[in-house]
Amino acid sequence: MDWQEFLKVEAGKHELTTEQTETLLVALFSAEKAPLTLVKLSDRLTTSEITVKKRLENIYKKFSDSFSELAQAKGAGKLKNLHTKLKKQYYQKLESVVVAPDSNLSCYPEEFRYLIVEKNKMFYGRQFVFEAFDEFMRTYAKGYFILEGYAGMGKTSVAAKYVYDNPEVICYFFAGSQNKPEQFFNSIRRQIINRYDLHDSEEDNLPSLLSKVGNSTKFRGRLVIVVDDLDEVDRYTARGQNILYLPKTLPDGIYFFLTRQPSNLKNNHYNIHKTFLNTELGTKVYKFNLNATNYIDCNAIDIKKYLLSYVNSCNNQIHKQINYWIKDYNISMEKIIDRLCQRSENNFRCLNYLIQAIFDEVYNEPVFNKLPPAMIDDYQTHWVGMGMQNHEDKSRQILLYILVYDNGCKIPIDKLHEIADEEECYIESVLHDWLKYLRQKTKSDKEYYTLYNASFMEFIQSQHMMKSNRAIFKTVNHRINEYLISS
């Protein structure tokens, strides 16, 4: 149950009228965000402040039986008080659902239950991915299915959806500090032992454990293990070993569903792609790339459906904002939807940031030229991940400046070391560190590295460290201009 559905239930319990229910839903639009002020609430509901105030007073009276503090509170503090009480009740209810022993949620590992539930609240589409995985399992007796896509394309949501719909699978989601191979294996081993009653296997390694699954009376001919976001794995593995020490051969009926960012950053000049999964004959590895041409249109359609569902179902606040824009700017809803999809670059994470920014009234008109605050926070994390917080590392600054110069794709990969005046091995090393933030493009038979989306490039170009008038870029600008003229 999401926040708005919870509020509707509470409104019914406390016998709120239709107008009072609407006022409650708009006033407390988010569990995490502060309630709207009386002025904004009046504007949203297109009615007078006096009318809104009367509705709120009636709401407080009806809720005072449940929350006696409302009868004693005064002024604007009542709405904040009600919000706090309802939020506490909501999260208690959500927690009780997550840990309910009779629920299917009890099948999921405790540490991932909340993530699985949250990712499935507004999941839409990507049916073509699930169909491809089903076809993979029908075609091959065992193997690794790898879902590849850039950050924010919904890989974790897809993985969580598959786990949600198939609670018999084993799963692991990399997050935060839980990124060590031993943490992954301890969780997977615990799940397999419990699922198949292999209680004499506490010391087994993964290949031995998987070989025992087939002999269990609880094995039904197939085991799927979902592992999300291999890019977050602590990269150290012994020479010649797979990431997470995944087996090079699997028993029949064992399938891994893995997600990661694309591994195609490889060309004739630099080879910054490190093979992370090698298998022996008979164990199939199949890569399903969300960025492939034949899936881009499918993803774009899902993005639009997702946005439309949000507009039509999320307490109508976004719907009302869009209606204001339609009326005041003589623009169609379809045009606004198209602008949001284009601005998000058909990226689910970017789109969610834009949706939140509309909730927070970041945009006064249907022109989404500012980066949403949550997106800026996300990109700041990327910035640190790229090592750019070190103001003394001039070489990294120069290389990044070259990559984003004039919106990127100006200097081919094989010329980067010349323009940066650095050793090729240094360029290769830094590019390898930046693997998850890059994508490869081909233009006029030349290969380029650029940032994985335009919004991130926009963020980087806005940083003072990347301003073209800095002294350290003077010589770089000269080299770039000379190259562009000569080419």
In order, the DSSP letters of 371-424 are PPHHHHHHHHHHHHHTTTT-TT-HHHHHHHHHHHGGGS--S-GGGHHHHHT--H
- The pLDDT of residue 21 is above 50: yes
Question: What is the rounded CA–CA span in Å between residue 454 and residue 464?
Answer: 18
Question: What's the whole-number mean pLDDT along residues 47-74?
Answer: 81
- The pLDDT of residue 71 is above 70: no
Helices (H), 276-363: 293-313, 317-329, 333-344, 348-359
Domain count of the fold of the chain = 4
pLDDT digit string, tens, across residues 83-139 = 888 887 776 655 544 444 434 555 788 888 888 888 887 787 888 999 999 999 999
The residue type found at 255 is: Y
pLDDT of residue 103: 44
Neighbour count for residue 243 (Cβ, 10 Å): 19
- The pLDDT of residue 31 is above 60: yes
Q: Are residues 45 and 89 in the same domain?
A: yes
Q: Are residues 286 and 301 in the same domain?
A: no
Answer positive or negative: Cα dihedral of 212, 218, 223, 227.
Answer: negative
3-state helix, strand, coil in the chain (%, to 5): 55, 10, 35
Highest mean pLDDT (candidates 35-44, 105-114, 144-153): 144-153
pLDDT digit string, tens, across residues 299-324 = 888 888 888 877 776 555 777 888 88
Q: Are residues 74 and 117 in the same domain?
A: no
Q: Are residues 300 and 342 in the same domain?
A: yes
What pLDDT band is residue 269 in, cutting at 50, 70 and 90? low
Q: Are residues 392 and 345 in the same domain?
A: no
Tell me the CATH number at 210. 3.40.50
Parallel, antiparallel, or unpaired: how do β-strands 170-173 and 143-148 relate? unpaired
pLDDT of residue 278: 86
pLDDT of residue 410: 94
- Given the structure tokens 């107008």, which residue do they identify? 19
Compute the half-sphere exposure of residue 343: CA atoms within 13 Å on the CB side of its CA: 22
Highest mean pLDDT (candidates 177-191, 259-273, 470-484): 470-484
pLDDT of residue 333: 87
Which of 3-7, 54-58, 97-101, 223-227 is predicted least confidently? 97-101
Compute the half-sphere exposure of residue 140: CA atoms within 13 Å on the CB side of its CA: 19
Neighbour count for residue 277 (Cβ, 10 Å): 19
Q: Which of 344, 373, 377 has the alpha carbon at shortest distance from 454?
A: 344
Q: Are residues 62 and 142 in the same domain?
A: no
pLDDT digit string, tens, across residues 378-409 = 899 999 989 998 888 999 999 999 999 999 99
Question: What is the rounded CA–CA span in Å between residue 153 and residue 299?
Answer: 9
Helix (H, G, I), strand (E, B) or coil at 334: helix
Helices (H), 415-467: 416-420, 424-433, 454-462
What's the mean per-residue pLDDT of the chain? Answer: 85
Structure letter (DSSP) for residue 346 = T
Q: Which of 475, 114, 431, 149 has the alpha carbon at shortest distance from 289?
A: 149
Question: What is the rounded CA–CA span in Å between residue 26 and residue 451?
Answer: 38
Q: Are residues 159 and 217 in the same domain?
A: yes
Question: What is the rounded CA–CA span in Å between residue 164 and residue 362?
Answer: 34
Domain stops at, among 44, 68, 98: 98
Q: Are residues 144 and 228 in the same domain?
A: yes
What pLDDT band is residue 475 in, cutting at 50, 70 and 90? very high
Q: What is the token pair recorded at 335?
A: 């045009």
- Given the structure tokens 């323009």, which residue do they identify? 419
- As a whole-number percent, the residues of the chain with pLDDT over 90 amount to 39
Q: Which of 22, 25, 20, 50 has the alpha carbon at shortest distance from 38?
A: 50
pLDDT of residue 35: 87
Question: What is the rounded CA–CA span in Å between residue 233 and residue 190?
Answer: 19
pLDDT of residue 227: 95
Domain boundaries, position 86: 3-98
pLDDT of residue 100: 40
Q: Are residues 29 and 57 in the same domain?
A: yes
Maximum pairwise Cα distance, the chain:
79
Q: Which residue has the higher pLDDT, 265 or 438?
A: 438
Domain stops at, among 257, 291, 325: 291
pLDDT of residue 73: 60
In order, the DSSP letters of 144-180 are EEEEE--TTSSHHHHHHHHHHH-TTSEEEE--TT---
Highest mean pLDDT (candidates 147-151, 292-296, 414-418): 414-418
What pLDDT band is residue 266 in, cutting at 50, 70 and 90? low
Q: Which residue has the higher pLDDT, 274 or 18?
A: 18
pLDDT of residue 46: 82
Q: List the Cα angle 42/45/48 in 5-degree steps.
A: 40
Which of 10-14, 44-48, 304-308 is predicted least confidently? 10-14
Q: What does each C-alpha distance from 441 to 57, 279, 429 come to in angstroms?
A: 60, 29, 20
Q: Are residues 300 and 284 in the same domain?
A: no
Q: Which of 335, 366, 346 has the alpha carbon at shortest distance from 124?
A: 346
What pLDDT band is residue 354 in, cutting at 50, 70 and 90? very high
Tell me the CATH number at 481. 1.10.10
Q: Are residues 346 and 325 in the same domain?
A: yes
Q: What is the token pair recorded at 110?
A: 């405790």
The pTM of the whole model exceeds 0.85: no
- As a whole-number percent, the residues of the chain with pLDDT over 70 amount to 89
Domain stops at, among 98, 129, 144: 98
> How remote is the C-alpha of 228 from its chain's centroid?
11
pLDDT of residue 106: 58
Q: Are residues 299 and 205 in the same domain?
A: no
pLDDT of residue 101: 40
In order, the DSSP letters of 15-76 are T--HHHHHHHHHHT--SSSPPPPHHHHHHHHTS-HHHHHHHHHHHHHHHTTT-THHHH--TT
Question: What's the whole-number mean pLDDT along residues 130-150?
Answer: 94
CA dihedral 378, 379, 382, 388 (to 10 degrees): -140
Question: What is the rounded CA–CA span in Å between residue 323 and residue 337?
Answer: 12
pLDDT of residue 39: 86
For residues 261 and 149, the answer to whether their CB atoms sit within 8 Å is: yes
Length of the chain (residues): 487
pLDDT of residue 233: 79
Q: Under 8 Å CB-to-CB from 97, ≥6 apart: which residues?
A: 1, 103, 105, 117
CA dihedral 64, 70, 76, 77 (to 10 degrees): -140
pLDDT of residue 142: 95
> How remote is the C-alpha of 135 from its chain's centroid?
26
pLDDT of residue 436: 82
pLDDT digit string, tens, across residues 206-252 = 999 999 998 888 888 999 999 998 888 766 555 567 888 899 999 99
